[in-house]
Amino acid sequence: MPPLGLRRAGYVWQLKKAMYGTRRAAQLWQEYAASAFKRNGWTRIAVAAGMYHEPMLDMTAVIHGDDVLTEGEWESLDVLDQQLTGEMDIKSLGRVGPDGLETIKYLKRTAHDQVDRQRVLLDGR
């Protein structure tokens, strides 16, 4: 709907961008996030489209909507912060874990299970 002062009888407006909250907006965000992670050396897990792995950092990241949840060592998380800051506006809500090891055990277990499944699919083992 055009603003009140710009409305004209007999005319319609076409939205040329994805409106927040629509399926198309979510789809475009996932495509953008995938390309940002790929540019920084991350691999998208074949069996879980919103999950990424970076073997050099030994990290796994999960994207749900506009939330990114990661697990890894403190130094690896610092590298990821730098990578994402260069790609998009981010707000870190903090880190969880003792002695610099940042992990949520349930996520770590399932994330590594997914990575192992992908290796089986790729390597045939």
Residue 49 lies in a domain: yes
Residues 66-109 have pLDDT tens digits of 788 888 888 888 898 888 888 888 777 777 765 544 443 333 33
Q: CB of 28 within 8 A of CB of 18?
A: yes
- The whole-model pTM stands at 0.63
Residues 27-63 have pLDDT tens digits of 888 888 899 999 999 999 989 888 999 999 999 999 8
Residue 71, helix vs strand vs coil: strand
Residue 23 lies in a domain: no
Residue 74 lies in a domain: yes
Residue 27 lies in a domain: no
Residue 52 lies in a domain: yes
Give the Å distances, CA to CA, from 15 to 2, 63, 76: 10, 27, 40
Residue 79 lies in a domain: yes
> What residues make up the domain containing 114?
32-123
